A = this chain, B = another copy of it.
Amino acid sequence: MREALAEWRPVIDDAIAEILPREVDGDDLEAFFGEPTFAYDPEGIQRALADPLWDLLDRGGKRWRAVLFLVFVDALGEDPQAFHPYACIPEILHNGTIIVDDVEDGASIRRGEPALHHVHGEDIALNAGNAMYFLPLKILTHDPGDLGAETRLRAYEMLLYELNRTHLGQGMDICWHNERGVRISTEQYLEMCACKTGCLSRIVARLAAIVTDQEPAVEDALARYAELTAIAFQIGDDILDVEHSLGRAGEFGKEFGNDIREGKTTLLVLHAIETAGAERAGRLEEILETDANTDEEVADALAIIEDVGSIEHARERALEFSEQARGALEDLPVDLELEPRAQLLEFTEFVVDRDV
């Protein structure tokens, strides 16, 4: 997968530039958005849309949603070359959510530079992030290629289903951040992951199945693989934050005890509160509720999480989801191409084992 990532990135960027070039002119706008009724202002749209989009993309990012899409297409026996435009759909959506999430979270840094709303202004950043929710959906209309009406309809209804659930997941997550106390169940935490992180992965998988005209059973199994892998990834992320903070992991690029300071409800926190006994659970909740934590409080919270075995518990759950993801591939009613299939299997291990 790592090789695929390096190989495909410039190809994906070229495909995105076909839709929205780094420097837009009136013709580009007309080609993608349709004729103006009066006259576009390309200079304004450059600053409002093309600049923030390319600023974010040129900072890095692995384009792994686009690459995963092409790996799915490859695995399903089609030539990925013919499907580049559609690979841009989850990639642009993902980058749109990054811009909006950073405003919602009040983030200051993104990919080593000031978050987009600090560079372009909150108004421009938000509008660009939102435009990046709709721009990719239009790719299906703009570039129907060989996609028939039925396929496009299937794609739109899938996208709207998943994008609605994405906002449910983000909504739950924000709510829990803002709440005093931890009141949710593990099942609800996993639902948040399934919605917030999982739905975008499901879009990757389902879109690959839809544009290559697979049966619904194939689409469902690939969606399940994608969702389970995303949940394992999210738990892996939560573990990394704690391990890094405990000084165990390598370079991570986040502040010490970031999740604790944000008061994030994670699988580790839920497990610790459930098993640490009333006193220490109460202490952990209290630290999570406090708006500005001292380093000592953060260290206390981390110690509770470590002592009660929440890291091991979370790792076991992540491995379980990762195994179930592999199982979803076994259940497929079609044979996948061997090499991309191996990449998909490998990916389920990477999301749990990674150290960055």
Contact = CB atoms under 8 A, between A and B. Distances in A.
Q: Is the interface of A mostly helix, strand, loop or mixed?
A: helix
Interface in A196-239: 198, 227
Contact of A160 (B121, B134, B150, B177): B134
Contact of A103 (B37, B126, B190): B126
A48 interface: yes
Copies in the assembly, this chain:
2
B39 A187 contact: yes
Interface stretch (A108-116, A167-175, A291-299): A167-175
Interface stretch (A75-83, A135-143, A244-252, A337-345): A135-143
Interface stretch (A57-65, A151-159, A279-287, A326-334): A151-159
A275 interface: no
Contacts of A171: 44-45, 48-49, 124, 127-128, 131
A130 interface: yes
A184 interface: yes
A68 interface: no
Given A152-B153, A188-B40, A178 B131 contact: no
Given A44-B172, A104-B122, A126-B103, A37 B160 contact: no
A194 interface: yes
